[in-house]
Amino acid sequence: MARTTTAPGGRAARFPFPFTSDGYRYAVNVEPARAPVRTAAGGWGETVVDVDDDYRAELAERARILAADPTRCTVLPHMRAASWDALLYLLRELAAGHAGVMALTDLGGGRMSWRNDLLGVDLAFTVGDDTGVPGGPLAFAGSQVQEDIVLLDQREDALWADAGLVTFAADWSLNFDVGMSFLEVHGPVPRVHATGVVPRAQAFLMRLAPGREYRRTNWTVTAGHRLDTSTEAYPEWGRERALAAASPETLGDTLHLRVEVQHLLRLAPSGAVLFLIRTHLLGLREVARVPEWRHRFAAVLTELPDDLVDYKGLSRYRDGIVAWLAAAGGSHRVDDEA
């Protein structure tokens, strides 16, 4: 595989640790995409689409989820053109980053061919013909990239989440949100309306010029190495969360710091906004192996206001994590028990 997560330094080496200070508040934390970021354990950020060692496993997981619940890919009829823009953008990105194993070739007359040796895909299709790509353009895009995908239409002076392929949502539901405005989608998030974060983010996105690419991170904590923490899957992960909270001494092995690297750009020619969400999970024990991360994560959690703690679903184990991190640092348990 062209890029690796596992060596040297393990999964942590490419983990996008999200905290740049000992406190955390919501902000319009966007920055230009593709700028490399150095972390205490390695680095990340040079690409928009990120293929790693979990590529096949995560795509198989996505296929399983989609087969069980087709609503995870929903495209309102007016977003067909944008779905094709998204597919072509993503295939071009993949091909550019993995030239030895992936290729997108223009065959002329609207025909294209796509080869992906990592998945054994070799396919010719006509741009705009939904029947030529398995599942249609958005579903096919989601079968080639690990990112979740949302497409926003811009009209009536607002953005609308009118299409998406989302199998790894962090406590929300594409099926519930599809067709909502940007402001409505963010309705449940505390503080961001009163502080103007969400209106400012929408204004920023509505001014996005084609060709400009931005990114931001978001984070939470997940019990188990589980990507699908959607509203639909709550019966499963809610139970795991309760079990994890009931055993504070084993939090290091059950909990994961969950970081989303989100990319934002405007597609051409449709003019839709493409929102990509790539989810990374790093076990608490692995976080704690990096002293700077152990201290910083504990400091952020200690200081995090209760409404943010509640919204992120951390109420049951915030104190437990802080205690576990402190003990891990004090006794070198992190390495001893690995």
- The secondary structure of residue 2, as a DSSP letter, is -
Rounded-to-integer distance, Cα 287 and Cα 336, Å: 15
Assess contact for 34 and 40: CB atoms under 8 A. Answer: no
Q: Which two tokens stand for residue 125?
A: 């299709």
- Kindly name the residue from 80, 216, 226, 333 that is annotated as catalytic: 216
Q: Which of residues 139 and 159 has its CB atom nearest to ligand HEM in the complex? A: 159
Could you tell me the smallest distance in angstroms from the CB atom of residue 184 to ligand HEM? 10
Instruction: Tell me whether residue 115 is one of the annotated catalytic residues.
Output: no
Should residue 30 be labelled a site residue for ligand HEM when binding is judged by CB under 6 A? yes
Interface with ligand HEM in residues 227-256 (CB under 6 A):
none
Q: Which of residues 93 and 148 has its CB atom nearest to ligand HEM in the complex? A: 148
Rounded-to-integer distance, Cα 169 and Cα 333, Å: 32
Q: Which of 150, 259, 265, 314 binds ligand HEM (CB under 6 A)?
A: 150
Rounded-to-integer distance, Cα 298 and Cα 246, Å: 20
Could you tell me the smallest distance in angstroms from the CB atom of residue 199 to ligand HEM? 10
Rounded-to-integer distance, Cα 233 and Cα 228, Å: 7
Q: Which stretch binds ligand HEM (CB under 6 A): 3-11, 137-145, 196-204, 282-290?
A: 196-204
Could you tell me the smallest distance in angstroms from the CB atom of residue 311 to ligand HEM? 6
Show the beta-strand stretches assigned E in the chain. 31-32, 37-38, 43-44, 73-75, 102-108, 111-116, 121-126, 148-155, 158-165, 180-181, 213-223, 255-266, 273-283
The residues annotated with a catalytic role in the active site are: 216
Q: Which residues bind to ligand HEM, rule: CB under 6 A?
A: 26, 28, 30, 150, 152, 161, 172, 177, 185-186, 188-189, 192, 197, 201, 204, 216, 218, 220, 275, 311-312
